[in-house]
Chains A and B, each alone.
Chain A
Amino acid sequence: AQKVTQAQTEISVVEKEDVTLDCVYETRDTTYYLFWYKQPPSGELVFLIRRNSFDEQNEISGRYSWNFQKSTSSFNFTITASQVVDSAVYFCALSDYNTDKLIFGTGTRLQVFP
């Protein structure tokens, strides 16, 4: 069965520190998609990135970067030089190949202190 594990329940850092959020997934599918979403204190869910299983290139978008490693079934998210505005709950999610469903991890709450 598909599963997403975000073992870090909560992380606290001081502004300008780098921080990595871990995501480990389980799937028997050979084709799948991985996602990261951000949920700021205001409550909405913001899409950050989609990655398919055939593309293991790391991606960088400004201060955000993602490291996808199939060998370890991980899709980790790094924020460089964190800012207070990065404080949010971050969710990793995995697509189910046979349905149109997303399986979400339980989320990691990131608190960035000034």
Chain B
Amino acid sequence: DAGITQSPRHKVTETGTPVTLRCHQTENHRYMYWYRQDPGHGLRLIHYSYGVKDTDKGEVSDGYSVSRSKTEDFLLTLESATSSQTSVYFCAISESGLAGRSSYNEQFFGPGTRLTVL
């Protein structure tokens, strides 16, 4: 199994409070991703990173920010949590994205964080 951990695994918070979720990997993979999973929507990409300090927006990035100061850590921050951000959040890693466009590695997922915003 890929070495990916997420913390916390469960969190309940109140509307308007800041929340930071952490993803930690031990695989030294270059690419890291944050998704949210909601019923009827599957997984939707929030932000991703293709290297230290290199990040880009995904499909549902509004209300979220990310940071990656080390290869192994990718942080997702909800600046001011809202009830619509209640979801299960997954971190994923991959060895390469489209480097050279000759291969595309599968993404491996962390165990998920269940976030409830009251």
Contacts and interface: CB of A to CB of B under 8 A. Distances in A.
Nearest to B94: A100
Contact of A102 (B40, B41, B45, B112): B45
Among B43, B50, B94, B105, find the residue whose CB has the most chain A CB atoms closer than 10 A: B43
Interface string A1-33: 000000000000000000000000000000101
B98 A100 contact: yes
A44 B112 contact: yes
Chain B: interface size category: 20 to 34
Interface string A53-96: 00000000000000000000000000000000000000101010
B27 interface: no
A107 B43 CA distance: 9
A95 B44 CA distance: 13
A45 B101 contact: no
A106 B40 contact: yes
B14 interface: no
A24 to B, nearest CB: 14
Interface in B6-60: 31, 40-45, 48, 50, 56, 58-59
Given A100-B97, A105-B42, A43 B111 contact: yes
B29 to A, nearest CB: 12
Given A97-B101, A100-B31, A100-B50, A47 B108 contact: yes
Given A45-B90, A100-B31, A100-B48, A106 B108 contact: no
Nearest to B49: A100
Nearest to B107: A102
A97 B102 CA distance: 11
Contact of B109 (A44, A52, A97): A44
B104 A52 contact: yes
B88 interface: yes
Interface of B: 31, 40-45, 48, 50, 56, 58-59, 88, 90, 92, 94, 97-98, 101, 104-109, 111-112
Interchain residue pairs A-B with the least CB separation, the first 5 = A100-B97, A45-B109, A104-B42, A106-B42, A104-B43
